[in-house]
């Protein structure tokens, strides 16, 4: 039976290899939708790509809640499951999600097989993406747009102002770039 660690190790190698030479950032255990869910691996490379791992030892109990949060946040989403879930996973995730299955061969080497490629999510919610930013990062976005009088506003208020004044496409683009260059991931 494959464990999360077995799948995660090979998946990170695969992601790193396919992004070699590109400007990207890989983040493990990224909280989304104000903490409603935590994606196993996020890849920021001009798009927000999420990877959820469901090993043979996991259950799918949290998956419906995760699907809702990931659908609002990620441009591209892929689920990687152990063989235990191979037959049932297609009916559990949206058709635009990519599906991969991890398995061990006879020599106990872990492989990941592509079952269905991911396609682009056209329904990303700008507010959900904005929730990935820290207060100072949102403040900087608003100041760059010439909006003043913000110093006494909390993070939620700043998000509301941004949603009201900045086009969703700009919010998404700004957030992707900030996440790629952010220094201290566990601050705020």
DSSP output for 126-165: HHHHHTTS-HHHHHHHHHHTT----TT--HHHHHHHHHHH
C-beta neighbour count of 137 within 10 angstroms: 18
pTM of the model: 0.93
Edge to edge, the sheet with strand 25-32 lists 25-32, 37-44, 48-54, 76-82, 98-104, 110-116
Q: Model confidence over 64-108: pLDDT tens digits?
A: 999 999 999 999 999 999 999 999 999 999 999 999 999 998 898
- The CATH classification number of 4-116 equals 3.40.1350
- Write out the residue limits of the CATH 3.40.1350 domain(s) in the chain: 4-116
The torsion angles phi and psi of 40, rounded to 5 degrees, stand at: -65, -45
pLDDT confidence tier of residue 188, bands split at 50, 70 and 90: very low
């Amino acid at each position: 039976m494959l464990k999360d660690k077995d799948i995660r190790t090979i998946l990170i190698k695969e992601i790193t290899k396919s992004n070699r030479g590109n400007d990207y950032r890989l983040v493990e255990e990224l909280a989304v939708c104000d903490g409603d869910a935590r994606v196993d691996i996020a890849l920021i490379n001009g798009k927000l790509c999420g990877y959820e791992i469901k090993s043979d030892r996991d259950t799918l109990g949290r998956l419906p809640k995760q699907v809702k949060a990931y659908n609002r946040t990620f441009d591209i989403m892929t689920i990687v499951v152990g063989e235990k879930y191979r037959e049932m996973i297609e009916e559990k995730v949206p058709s635009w999600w990519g599906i991969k299955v991890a398995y061990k061969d006879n020599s106990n080497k872990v492989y990941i097989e592509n079952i269905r490629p991911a396609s682009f999510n056209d329904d990303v919610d700008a507010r959900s993406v904005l929730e990935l930013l820290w207060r100072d990062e949102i403040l900087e976005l608003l100041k760059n747009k010439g909006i003043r009088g913000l110093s006494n506003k909390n993070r939620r208020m700043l998000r509301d102002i941004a949603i009201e004044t900045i086009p969703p496409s700009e919010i998404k683009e700004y957030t992707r770039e900030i996440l790629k260059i952010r220094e201290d991931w566990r601050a705020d």
